[in-house]
Amino acid sequence: MALEQLSDVVQRCQVLSDDGYAAEDHDVFTIAGRTCIEEGNSVQVLSIVLDEQNQDIVRSMGWNLLPPLIQVLLKKEDKNLPQCLAIFNHLLETCRPKELLIGLLEQLEQDDPDPIAESLHLLLNPLQKVLLRLGSRKASSLGMTLSSVLDQVAKLPLPHTKEQEEDDVFSLCRSCTELTAFVRPFVHEVRLNLFNSSANGVFLFCSCMQTLTRPLLEAQLKDPDTLPVSPLRNFATEILNTLSAIGQSLSSLVFQPLLKRKQAPGFLEEEVRYPKESLANLAHLVFVHHLAADTFPSVFSPVFCLRCNMEHISQLSSVFEGVFPIAQELYEKSLVRVVDGSLPADLLQIKTFLTVPQNLVKVMTMCQRHDLRTKGLKVLQLSIDKFDTGAKYYFFQYMLKTSRHSGVEGYIIKNIRNQIDVALQPGNSNTWFQGVHLLPLLRKVLILPDGPETDLLQYLDRVMESLNLLRYLVIRDKVTENQTGIWTELYKVEDTFMKPLRVGLNMSRAHYERELHDTVETKKSKAKEESILSVAVGDEKLPNMTSDSHVQALHSALHTFDMIESVLVRIEELVEVKENL
């Protein structure tokens, strides 16, 4: 039935010229042709399509047959596969490229990972052929194709581990490799300045930028030691090569946040063309993975790179948590190249030099992943080491003011002690960590945040480090020399720190001893009731606390108070002895 209709319409049209086909002819050809292929009559369709007399018809209407053909080709096991492939290839050579392109792109749209990868695999090569046939008229078509292809690639799930990348279950790696092959001839045309290369260049540039965000931003690239052959790393390298080949200087892109000229504020076009995340990822690929090492000039100063990367890091750490490891790596690598103790305090005038460490701290205190927390601490210390003494001083002040976390504050206080120790070494004296400047910093350290009511357990880290610092000062600094100024400040410290601490200790101890007493009493009376306390961490409810463990916790709290007190007493003794000398 369909076959007869098809032969009829083809015969009718054979005598007409190219533009003489009626709309009805188109419809009949399309419907009948499609049905024939769907019903398995592709042998006959093939002979019609190949018939010398029908070439005009095929040229103008043939592309309508693409949907069922591609369905068969995607299925692979169909018995008509060879015929369909032959029809498909003939259409690609005969039909008009513009129409073919539309037909092919329609078939590219898929939603599930498997068909996405399969249709990319099948269609990228034909798309490339068709685009090449367009010659100099391809610019907008190339743009359209790239955008559809990238939308598809973006839907594929990313491999995370080395094994996943090797197995490539969802074919992202294969698709990326094929994408590289797909753009190669167009990049070549732009490089040789063939055809309409400026427009093509823009489309290629935009698609490179797009891939830098998706899929490459979240693809955690493996270094060559972990994975010697990595398709994703190759893909990233190819993207950078493409950028260079189409005349985009990688260094201007990487340093764009610092080098861009003044432009009208309030217009977002710039951000569309140079997405900030893409630029940041580019910096990450260059500085962390050392991709494009041969083409990237190595004469930029480490401080300049750091300054610029701070903008990228800040951008990355504001995106979402998944990208944070990248931000951290980029921060680390940018810092490593800088000479220790060389970053001046002026740099802290730049917003990102304060916000980036702050984000780092946020991750350190909140993040679920242990490795990120440890790495975070390492990078924080690295960044402190790179500051000169003045910058360290201001940085500590800033962190004490803003971090609001006992552990972090304790860590900073420990750093302050180290710096004082360095300053007191012969020949190392500086104006920041001794004498006049040191006192305001000490005043920020040697206090109890909430006076005697301070929760000593919550602030344990901070309190202990403060005590250690104070003990260090009274041991290390002689009353007669008073290099740190502690001996003239001591009466104030007693008021702001030691006395309230003692009161706090007494109050807390009384409270906990009472609590302990009560718990033990209740335990005796209600021996049967197992659990009495519910504990929750975050949103997760932990198993109810048994009264035994409650007692244990109370005991350990009391021990903690003992520990604090012993250091406090020791300090008081030292002060007494030294002052009496």
Partner 1 sequence: MTTDQELPMDAQSATAMFAAKGIDVTPSKDQGVIKVVKHPGLDGERPMVGDRVTVHYTGKLLTGKKFDCSRDRKEPFSFNLGKGQVLKAWDIGVMSMQKGEVCTLLCKPEYAYGPSGSPNKIPPRSPVLFQMELLKFEGEMLTDDGGITRRIKVKGDGYTNPNDGASVDVHLEGSCGGRLFDCRDVSFVVSEAEDKGVPLGVDRAMDKMQRGECCLLYLKPKYGFGSEGKPEYKIGPHKDIVYEVTLKDFKRAKESWEMDLNEKLDLAHGVKHKGNQYFKAGLYFQAVIQYQRIVCWLEMECGSGIEQQKKIQEVLLTSHLNLALCFLRIKEFSQVVENCNKVIEIEESNEKALYRRGEARLLRNEFTLALADFQQVLQVNPTNRAARAQISICQSRIKEHHEQDKKTYANMFQKFAERDAEFGKPKRRRDDNKRSSMNGEVGIKRRRRSQDCPS
Residues near partner 1 (CB under 8 A): 249, 255, 259, 261-268, 290, 293-295, 297-304, 307, 336-340, 346-347, 349-351
Distance, in Å, from the CA atom of 556 to the CA atom of 559, rounded to the nearest integer, reads 5
DSSP letters of 29-43?
HHHHHHHHHHTT-HH
Nearer residue to partner 1 within complex by CB, 264 or 536: 264
CA distances from 316 to 221, 364, 398 (A): 16, 16, 22
Q: How far is CA 242 from the centre of its chain?
A: 23
Distance, in Å, from the CA atom of 144 to the CA atom of 146, rounded to the nearest integer, reads 6
Question: 501: Cβ–Cβ under 8 A, 6 or more apart, which residues?
Answer: 448, 452, 463, 564, 568
DSSP letters of 204-234?
HHHHHHHHHHTTTTTS-PPPTTT-SS-HHHH
Distance, in Å, from the CA atom of 171 to the CA atom of 179, rounded to the nearest integer, reads 12
Nearer residue to partner 1 within complex by CB, 307 or 509: 307
Least Å distance, CB 385 to partner 1, is 12
Other beta carbons less than 10 A from residue 274's beta carbon: 17
Least Å distance, CB 54 to partner 1, is 37
Nearer residue to partner 1 within complex by CB, 23 or 293: 293
Least Å distance, CB 343 to partner 1, is 11
Distance, in Å, from the CA atom of 175 to the CA atom of 173, rounded to the nearest integer, reads 5
Nearer residue to partner 1 within complex by CB, 346 or 529: 346
Least Å distance, CB 399 to partner 1, is 20
Distance, in Å, from the CA atom of 11 to the CA atom of 54, rounded to the nearest integer, reads 9
With beta carbons less than 8 A apart as the criterion, state whether 419 and 389 touch: yes
CA distances from 7 to 50, 320, 520 (A): 13, 60, 98
The dihedral formed by the CA atoms of 425, 427, 433 and 434, expressed in degrees to the nearest 10? 90
Nearer residue to partner 1 within complex by CB, 351 or 526: 351
Grouping H, G, I as helix, E, B as strand and the rest as coil, residue 543 is strand
Nearer residue to partner 1 within complex by CB, 384 or 424: 384
With beta carbons less than 8 A apart as the criterion, state whether 57 and 11 touch: no
Question: 392: Cβ–Cβ under 8 A, 6 or more apart, which residues?
Answer: 384, 415, 419, 432
- DSSP code of 261? P
Nearer residue to partner 1 within complex by CB, 224 or 451: 224
Grouping H, G, I as helix, E, B as strand and the rest as coil, residue 260 is coil
Least Å distance, CB 264 to partner 1, is 6
Nearer residue to partner 1 within complex by CB, 261 or 524: 261
Least Å distance, CB 533 to partner 1, is 39
Least Å distance, CB 157 to partner 1, is 31
Least Å distance, CB 39 to partner 1, is 49
Least Å distance, CB 267 to partner 1, is 7
Nearer residue to partner 1 within complex by CB, 51 or 346: 346
Cis, bond preceding 159 (omega within 30 deg of 0): no
Residue written as token pair 């007409």: 16
Distance, in Å, from the CA atom of 388 to the CA atom of 378, rounded to the nearest integer, reads 18
Residue written as token pair 């500085």: 287
Distance, in Å, from the CA atom of 370 to the CA atom of 368, rounded to the nearest integer, reads 6
Nearer residue to partner 1 within complex by CB, 350 or 563: 350
Residue written as token pair 């790495």: 375
Least Å distance, CB 303 to partner 1, is 6
What single-letter amino acid sits at 465?
A: E
Nearer residue to partner 1 within complex by CB, 111 or 271: 271
Least Å distance, CB 287 to partner 1, is 9
Least Å distance, CB 110 to partner 1, is 33
Nearer residue to partner 1 within complex by CB, 99 or 277: 277
Least Å distance, CB 231 to partner 1, is 22
Nearer residue to partner 1 within complex by CB, 185 or 341: 341
